[in-house]
Amino acid sequence: MEYEPVIGLEVHAQIHTGSKMFCSCPVVEDTGDLPPNTYVCPVCTAMPGTLPVINRRAVEMTILTGLALHCRINPITRFSRKNYFYPDLPKGYQISQYDEP
């Protein structure tokens, strides 16, 4: 039996959009002496009845980065909820790309 090695690469990069990926809360580099949870909203905390909305500018900038790196851009992408139980993840899920990144 022959096996072909396949290497995947997962990259995390901060995109300077001014707001978070799934809500309109501002991105703050240095919170200084601000109290905890100053820059959160009902979407950030997954309050019932709230739904995340993707940051269009972040998607555009990500596509431009991919094109600059000569990557193939999929015509369709899907975001899914991955359920976790961690003490520091009060929502109980993380928005991720699994099936169609």
Structural domain spans, the chain = 18-23+38-101
Evaluate if pTM is beyond 0.85.
no
The predicted pLDDT at position 2 comes to 93
The confidence score (pLDDT) of residue 38 equals 85
Q: Which of 28-32, 44-48, 51-55 has the lowest mean pLDDT?
A: 28-32
Alpha carbon 61 to its chain centroid, in Å, reads 13
* Residues 31 and 17 sit within 8 Å (Cβ to Cβ): no
Mean pLDDT of 51-79: 91
**Cα gap 43→51, rounded to integer Å:** 6
